[in-house]
Amino acid sequence: MLRTKIAGIGHYVPEKVVTNNDLTRVMDTSDEWIQERTGIKERRYGTKHKETTSTMGTRAAEIAIERAGIQKEDIDFIIFATLSPDYYFPGCGVLLQRELGITKTEIGALDIRNQCSGFVYGLSIADQFIKSGMYKNVLLVGAEMHSMGLEFTTKGRNVTVIFGDGAGAVVLQPTEEEGKGVLTTKLHSDGTYAEKLAFISPGSHGGYHHDKMGLDTDFGFGDEEFGEIFLNHHMIDNNMHYPNMEGQFVFKLAVQKFPEVIMEALTEAGLTPADIDMLVPHQANLRISQFVQKRMGLRDDQVWNNIQKYGNTTAASIPIALCEAWEAGAVKEGDLVCLAAFGSGFTWGSALIRF
């Protein structure tokens, strides 16, 4: 039976370390508050003119490609997950292709917009392509340059302190080795609460969703016959071009959906939480991961957390954490690894992989 295995993995984080105390220079917050609520001590920020979402993804991909023992020309499909693309369009997949120096055009490049669950969604897509025999080397990348789009004021503090920059990548290949590879992936979505964690403007919404939901939000649209919908001065003047989040709402749903979707995958595979060698949860908040660990009855050595160093790197968080766990020898050949994510949309998902 054809399954999908991780043949190589890599990650990249920018050099610049930003501590909680550094953030107190631009907003009313404290190291104590941030650590107590999120577990985060520091995060990395990319540097203008030097790093972007796609270049960080490329650096991670180069390591994954080398570890897979293939050449970049062997890649036959790219999947790029991010919510902070270099350009609104085209996507980061083609920018990574160019940055990697892949000039052959017999290759597809797909961008996916599933925020924190982007990597799990990407893995599921890659798995279908590989199991069907269509592709032999799929490059899956999760990368984020949040620091370019956060609000560095007290108004934006609830969102800004959480997020950081970085990238992770895997090369996925078919394997016929008994019991090895991706055992299952589970994907979910519920658009009911799309605006609870969202980056609304600029966008082509034209106020539609807010009108429909009876939300009294003034986007400052004028009475021009054409245009002006995407971004206007009112939005900029009122700092509406930043992400917003109802933190407690997100928290409550996350602690419910993580265990549910992990159990769903385990049950389908005929396994239990005790069979998990390593759970690599999306690094949303250390409190969420600790809650999930307790609910699943997992020991400390069965869960990988690194949010303390990097903050929440959204689509990059799972591949960065998985890569670090693998590099530390905490994920070895034969181990059962569970990936799980929840985020904006809301979308959530899980994957079980036998290494």
Residues assigned a catalytic role: 116, 282, 312
Place of tokens 């997950």: 81
Interaction between residue 164 and ligand COA (CB under 6 A): no
Q: How far is the CB of 258 from ligand COA (least distance, A)?
A: 10
Contact between 251 and 285 (Cβ < 8 Å): yes
Q: Which amino acid is it at 190?
A: D
Interacting positions 21-60 with ligand COA (CB under 6 A)? 29, 33-34, 37-38
Q: Which is nearer to ligand COA, 64 or 341 (CB)?
A: 341
Task: Rule CB under 6 A: say whether 312 interacts with ligand COA.
Answer: yes
Kindly state the number of chain residues that form the binding site for ligand COA, as judged by CB under 6 A.
20
Distance CA 169, CA 119 (A): 9
Minimum distance from CB of 247 to ligand COA (Å)?
Answer: 3
Least distance CB 91 / ligand COA (angstroms): 21
Which amino acid appears at position 285 of this protein? N
Q: Which is nearer to ligand COA, 105 or 248 (CB)?
A: 248
Question: β-strand 108-112 against 77-81: which pairing, if any?
Answer: parallel
Q: Closer CB to ligand COA, residue 291 or residue 355?
A: 291
Would you say 32 or 178 has its CB closer to ligand COA? 32
Query: Which one, of 331, 323, 329, 324, lies nearest residue 278 by Cα?
Result: 331
Q: Does 285 bind ligand COA (CB under 6 A)?
A: yes
Dist. CA 82–CA 112, nearest whole Å:
7
Separation between Cα atoms, residue 13 and residue 53, nearest integer Å? 11
What pairing do the DSSP bridges indicate for beta strands 197-198 and 336-343? unpaired
Distances (CA, A) of 48 to 16, 147, 198, 202: 11, 10, 24, 21
Q: From the CB of 300, what's the least distance to ligand COA, in Å?
A: 21
| Residue with the CB atom nearest ligand COA in the bound state | 247
Nearer to ligand COA by Cβ, of 77 and 348: the residue is 348
* Residue number with CB closer to ligand COA (116 or 337): 116
Q: Which stretch binds ligand COA (CB under 6 A): 124-132, 215-223, 250-258, 262-270?
A: 250-258
Reported in sequence order, the residue ranges of the chain that DSSP labels E, i.e. its strands, are 3-12, 16-19, 42-45, 77-81, 108-112, 138-144, 166-175, 181-189, 197-198, 244-245, 278-281, 336-343, 347-354
248 binds ligand COA (CB under 6 A): yes
The CB-of-274 to ligand COA minimum distance in angstroms stands at: 27
- The CB density around residue 3, as the number of other CB atoms within 10 Å, is 20
* DSSP string computed for 61-79: HHHHHHHHT--GGG--EEE
- Strands (E) across 195-274 are located at 197-198, 244-245
- Tokens standing for residue 138: 């799929």
Which positions from 77 through 136 interact with ligand COA, judged by CB under 6 A? Answer: 116
Site string for ligand COA, 226-245 (x = CB under 6 A): -------------------x
Window 144 to 163, contacts with ligand COA (CB under 6 A): 157-158, 161
Q: Considering the rule CB under 6 A, would residue 193 count as an interface residue with ligand COA? A: no
Indicate whether 278 belongs to the interface with ligand COA (CB under 6 A).
Answer: no
Give min distance, CB of 22 to ligand COA, in A. Answer: 13
Q: Is 188 in the site for ligand COA (CB under 6 A)?
A: no
* The residue to which tokens 């957390």 are assigned: 305
CA 34 to the chain's CA centroid: 21
Q: State in angstroms the smallest separation of the CB of 162 from ligand COA.
A: 6
- Binding residues for ligand COA, rule: CB under 6 A, are 29, 33-34, 37-38, 116, 157-158, 161, 245, 247-248, 250-251, 254, 284-285, 288, 312, 343
